[in-house]
Amino acid sequence: MAAGTSDQDRFDAAHALWKEGGHEQAAVLLDELSAKHPGNADLFSALGVCRFENGDYAQARQALERALSLDPDQGIAAYNLAHLLLLLGEEEKGFALYERRWASFSRPAWHPSPQLAWDGEPLDGTLLVLAEQGFGDMIQFARFLPLAAKRCQRLVLAAPPELKRLMAPISGVAQLVTAGEPLPPFDRFVMMLSLPHRLRSFGGQRPSPPYLAASKAMDLPGRGMKVGLVWAGRAAHSQDKQRSLDIQELAPLLKTPGVDFFSLQLGQTPPPGATDLAPGIADFEDTAAVLAGLDLLISADTAPAHLAGAMGKPVWTFVTFVPDWRWGLGGETSDWYPQMRLFRQERPGDWQAPVLRMAQALADAAKR
C-alpha cells in the first residue's frame, strides 16, 4: 500500500493474521487503516475479505462495494463480492460479477482468445465448453450442458479425464476431450461456470437433478442400511482445513446399529468395520457406480457430495460455519440438490454438534 512504513507494517501484520485464520483481529487493523486511508481500494478489499470469512456479511458487502467504487478494476473485491452475492441468493448479480474472476486468476496459456467468448445467443456452429475449477464445480454445472447444446449446432466439452466416462453420455455433448488431446475446430467457447449467466438460468429456472447417472450400480454386501462415507476433500483445496473432518470426529455416527458403512475416501484408512471401496475407484464413473448401490452418502463438502446430488441420490453434507456460496445462509435444504440435507456448523471449526445431529437422524433412518 502507498503509505508510511508503519502503515505498511500494520497491513503486513493484518495479512499475516488473516493467513493464520485470525480474521477478526486482521479486520480490526484493516478497519483502522481504511479509516486513515479512505481512498485506498486495496484496504477495503482486504477488509471485505476478512469480514466475509468471519461471517459478517453486511459489513463485508459494504467494504467490498466500497473497494469497487474506488477502483472498478479491483479483481479480488469483485471475485469475493460475487461469492457473497451468490451466498445471499442474488444469483443474477452474483454470476454477472463472477465473470470478473479472471482478473484474480491467470488464464492457462492454452485457453482460447477472449474475443471468441460465447455470448449465449444461438450459434450456427460448434461451441466449446471448458470445464473449470474443482471436480465438484464441474459436476454441479454439468446440468447446464443440455441447455447450451440447444443453442448451438454442436457442443464439445473439454474436461479432466476423471470425468470423461461420467460426462460423455450427457445429452447434447457431441464430443468430450480431455487433457493432452487436441481441441477440435470450434467457433465460440464458454467457461463452464459462466453458463448460468450466458443462459440466463437462475434459481427455479435452472435444470434439476438427476442429470448424471451410473452406467451400472455396484452390488454392495450387507443386510442393513448401506451408507457411504467421505470425510475429507482434496488437501490442495484452499478451504480444505475448514471443510474436512477427521475420521475420529465421526465416531458417534459409526456406532449406529443397523447400518453397513462403506468408505469412498481416497488416500486414507477407513474406520474399523467399514468396507473400503476406495481401491476400486479410478474415476467418477466408478464413484457413481458405488453411489448407485448406496442408500445414503454422508460427505464433507467435496465432489462425491455433488455427484450424489446430481444423481438424485440421498446425501447428507457437512457445511462449515461460513458456508461455501452454493449452500446459502441457513436451513437444511439445498436449492441445487433436492435430495441433499445440510448439517451446518454452529461455531467455526466445531463439528461436534452437526455430527451428533446427523447421528440421531441416521439412527432414526436406520429404524425405518
Question: Does domain 114-205 match CATH 3.40.50?
Answer: yes
Q: Is the pLDDT of residue 4 over 60?
A: no
Average model confidence (pLDDT) across the chain: 94
> Of all residues in the chain, what percent are helix, strand and coil, respectively (each to 5)?
45, 15, 40
How large a percentage of the chain has pLDDT more than 70?
98
Residue whose cell numbers read 457442443: 155
pTM of the model: 0.94
For 274-317, the pLDDT digits (tens) are 999 999 999 999 999 999 999 999 999 999 999 999 999 999 99
Give CA separation, 74 vs 40, 47, 60, 104, 178, in Å.
11, 13, 15, 9, 33
Size (the chain), residues: 368
Q: What is the mean pLDDT of residues 32-55?
A: 93
Closest listed residue to residue 283, CA positions, set 170, 164, 162, 139: 162
Locate the domains of the chain by residue range. Answer: 5-103, 114-205, 225-367
Q: How confident is the model at residue 362 (pLDDT cuts 50, 70, 90)?
A: very high
For the domain 225-367, what is the CATH code?
3.40.50.2000
Closest listed residue to residue 309, CA positions, set 321, 324, 327: 327
Q: Using alpha carbons only, how large is the chain's radius of gyration in Å? A: 22
Q: In what order do the strands lie in the sheet with 225-230?
A: 275-276, 259-263, 225-230, 296-299, 315-319, 340-344
As a whole number of angstroms, the distance between CA 130 and CA 111 comes to 9
72, three cell numbers? 472498478
The region of weakest confidence among 21-30, 195-204, 341-350, 351-360 is 21-30
- Contact in structure between 139 and 171 (CB atoms under 8 Å): no
Instruction: Give the bridge partners for 340, in sequence order.
Output: 315
Closest listed residue to residue 146, CA positions, set 213, 215, 99, 211: 211
Question: Does domain 5-103 match CATH 1.25.40.10?
Answer: yes
For 182-239, the pLDDT digits (tens) are 999 999 999 999 999 999 999 989 999 999 999 999 999 999 999 999 999 877 767 7
Question: Are the folds of 114-205 and 225-367 the same?
Answer: yes
Q: In what order do the strands lie in the sheet with 152-158?
A: 173-177, 152-158, 123-130, 188-191
201, three cell numbers? 438460468
Q: What is the mean pLDDT of residues 112-121?
A: 94
As a whole number of angstroms, the distance between CA 96 and CA 107 comes to 18
Q: Is the pLDDT of residue 55 over 70?
A: yes
Q: What is the mean pLDDT of residues 110-123?
A: 92
What region, left, alpha or beta, does residue 329 occupy, with left being phi > 0 and alpha being psi -120 to 50 degrees? alpha
Helices (H), the chain: 5-19, 23-36, 41-53, 57-70, 75-87, 91-98, 135-141, 145-149, 164-167, 195-199, 240-243, 251-254, 284-293, 303-310, 352-367
